[in-house]
Chain A
């Protein structure tokens, strides 16, 4: 690889728009940069467009029903214009993905070992013996107990946590540079979830992976991500380092998410602060800020003009007309919380 390419970010998305069936604007102008070796978490509720954005990076959205605009560059290469052959070489080799439900993502009629060796041999000229040795190393790497035996297991013979480890091994089989993870721990039990989160964090640091991690769980994002991007109705409403977003949020939606967590409630029996209403219909998007109908700071301007991306600090942006007022409201919350604790 030439030097120029090495300096490019791992993934750069500019003005991404994804429209399904000509009407549903699932993603509406997303800009996102993933630096090399970094982990970014895309946070949002169902329908916020986070998974669609992730899939767009590998062009996994159904091509016939989807209209995509914008620019997606992976390691300096424009993904949108790749031929199907080049796309096949990209998938798995440079960009790999792990899914929420490994039982659905893995093929039920082949052993896990066979699926991994097949993936390796698809991309590399390598003998079956060598491929199997590599699969074994991968299984050891993701800490599957008795790996030799487990290579010959079928997916249904494994427990949920082990299946997710096997899928991580499969994703890493061809030593990709970019790892895309779509809710990788959502279907797992709490004690297993934390193991997988720690494994992902460890692998990311060790292999220098660049990771995009889609989740709806702020807690899981804080555990693995360097940066957090909060999505709402197909847009990134706030993006910054994990610290900034969780400890100094500037967008009313992020603040609403933090407030509505049951662990943030002042006391038992007190009511939870909620975000009223529900997300907008993506087929009939209101003008202005998509969050305005539910926002505690909304005024007339918000319902007419789309808010600008405000840089509130270095590397921290929020798309809101009232970033300062929002931040002040959050600080007020914290002060009250501290007071109540004393």
Chain B
């Protein structure tokens, strides 16, 4: 292991804006997919991501939670540039991604992604070592150096290089494959790692091992994580802040401890109480929400959550709630939490304004 992993490939002047500037700012991100309903049917639009704004601070872990179809994975793919977005702005450390100062190629050298399906995301015809070394080689690292780095990364994620480097993906277990994917993501020394349900397919005991590994790596390599998951327990454990998405929009964002302990949005509250209780003496008696998450093709007017919401009133059907602060670090999109919104449960205007 002659090359320390910390040796830079990209010039070390990467931190431009200083610690206070967000690593990633997303502003008004939109992605619609055109679809046709039925045979020769009328065209429709899936509003997968419909106006998402948030920032990821340097060195933090931001969690995104939500049910299938809420747009959390699409958001991740848009950030990575795996598909073009329709509108909105993505700024990485103050620079427009894809702009002149930060072309996609340079951005991708600083941002990596780990997917849920550990097998599908590895090339089955490439050895583990080859897969990890591939990215650095594309970005101009000499072969020998890339292989050396791959081996030291394998050792770092807990897979002994002499045993595992020459193996193919099908010769590994799911947990081992996900470690390889993590090593591959780190091979380019990224600043931001997007983890899209990266531990969801693993068995519980393996999941715990990988979560520990992720925490260690974050500290060791000064990483920033965007952690997408549907498991609130894992998010609470790992994340500093959490964003809750519903039908293509962020409905609540704030510190994980606050949002998951005293949620301000009724949807967040419903997600929390949908978790099995783990206490045989206090089983869940009533399901907090009825029905399935609605289809993002025709989202309801007004607040998108109103047809399933326990707090819904007439005003919710007509007005789209803005994502407004309840305190400086915690924002929520719910009329019942906004002074002067016309919702009967809304706090009074006088203090806040």
Contacts and interface: CB of A to CB of B under 8 A. Distances in A.
Contacts, number: 128
B206 interface: yes
B222 to A, nearest CB: 16
Given A46-B203, A269-B215, A198 B290 contact: no
Contact of B212 (A145, A191, A195, A274): A274
A272 interface: yes
B277 A223 contact: yes
B230 interface: yes
Contacts of B291: 145, 161
A246 B278 contact: yes
Contacts of A193: 274
B67 interface: yes
A263 B205 contact: no
Contacts of B279: 222, 246
Interface residues of A, number: 44
A195 B208 contact: no
A256 interface: yes
A67 B212 CA distance: 40
A143 B285 CA distance: 17
Nearest to A189: B67
A216 B202 CA distance: 11
Contact of B237 (A160, A257, A272): A272
Contacts of B211: 262, 272
A182 B343 CA distance: 45
A278 interface: yes
A77 B289 CA distance: 42
Interface string A212-248: 0000111110110000000000000000011100110
Nearest to A195: B287
B interface, how many residues as a size bin?
35 or more
Contact of A191 (B173, B208, B274): B274
B22 interface: no
A247 B215 CA distance: 29
B273 to A, nearest CB: 8
A191 B289 contact: yes
B57 to A, nearest CB: 16
B13 to A, nearest CB: 30
A220 B237 CA distance: 20
Interface string B51-87: 0000000000000000110000000000000000000
Given A219-B275, A243-B281, A246-B278, 6 more contacts: A160-B68, A190-B275, A262-B231, A273-B208, A275-B208, A278-B173
Interface of B: 67-68, 173-176, 203-209, 211-212, 215, 230-234, 236-238, 256-257, 270-271, 274-281, 283-293, 295
Q: Nearest 8 CB-CB pairs, A to B?
A: A219-B276, A260-B208, A45-B203, A189-B67, A262-B237, A275-B205, A159-B292, A272-B208
23 contacts: A45-B205, A160-B68, A189-B293, A190-B274, A191-B271, A191-B289, A194-B274, A194-B275, A194-B276, A195-B290, A198-B284, A222-B279, A223-B276, A223-B283, A246-B280, A256-B205, A261-B204, A263-B237, A268-B238, A273-B208, A274-B205, A274-B208, A275-B208
